[in-house]
Amino acid sequence: MTFLNNLFRDEKYQKDAPRRPEEVAEPDAIISPDTRRENRIPPGQSRTRKWPVLDAHGTPDIDLERWEFAVEGLVERPLKLSLDEFKQLPSVKVYADFHCVTRWSRLDNVWTGVPTREIVERIGVKPEAKFVLALAYDYGWTTNLPLEYFLAEDALFAWLHDGAPIPPAHGGPVRLIVPQLYAWKSAKWIKGVRFLDSDQAGFWEEGGYHMRGNPWQGRDGERFRWQGNDE
């Protein structure tokens, strides 16, 4: 029974069926639109009740006293914030599902953090900016995404997951969450973002992953670059 005992001691293990949006207890939570689908599992995916750990290089050692979030590129007012300053910004809760390109989906998550729109309002993005490059403490790891997905109402920089601090293995102290794209676009260990006028491939995109990564697009989601970027 050791395996079962360990499994059910896992605080992130989901024993129940995922809630429907109307069942979410947090009345002020932003509801990610994909949770309203009749079938919340994208093509080629299956539900996991656990929260698997996947990354490129392992969990980096981050000094929280020196943690800094920086915004650069095509902006009117570049920004740098300490962790304390970052957590003092207005925050929201988002109810969303989470889809990994390796074919598992974790449904029913509540994230708390700073909405990406709050950052954009503070910095003033220049009109020519069309893309965002997320920068991470993960040994220079990056990922790219179109500006419209970064600005979605359900996108945020999260420091809580289901009411608890995000563990380092899952991207804490702060990670980007973009629920409408595959989870590799939700950069762990975020340290900043750069606004660009043209798309720039990040770490996994250089290796062949899709430049956009919409799990609902096509028969098997946008997993790889050779699938194209067609709407």
**What pLDDT is attached to residue 175?**
98
**What pLDDT is attached to residue 228?**
57
What residue type is 182 in one-letter code? Answer: Y
Write down the pTM of the prediction: 0.93
Which CATH class for the 2-55+62-226 domain? alpha beta
Contact between residue 219 and residue 45 where contact means Cβ atoms under 8 Å apart: no
> 82 has which bridge partners?
68
**What pLDDT is attached to residue 5?**
45
Contact between residue 75 and residue 61 where contact means Cβ atoms under 8 Å apart: no
Rounded to a whole number of angstroms, the CA Rg of the chain reads: 17
**What pLDDT is attached to residue 9?**
61
Both ends of the chain: CA-CA distance in Å?
49
What residue type is 43 in one-letter code? Answer: P
Segments of the chain with pLDDT less than 50: 1-8, 230-231
Q: Where are the domains of the chain?
A: 2-55+62-226
- Helices and strands of the chain, counted as H and E runs: 5, 12
Distance CA 78, CA 70 (A): 8
**What pLDDT is attached to residue 227?**
65
Q: Give the closest residue to 143 by CA, choosing from 119, 171, 162, 165.
A: 171
Estimate to the nearest angstrom the gap between the alpha carbon of 15 and the chain centroid: 23
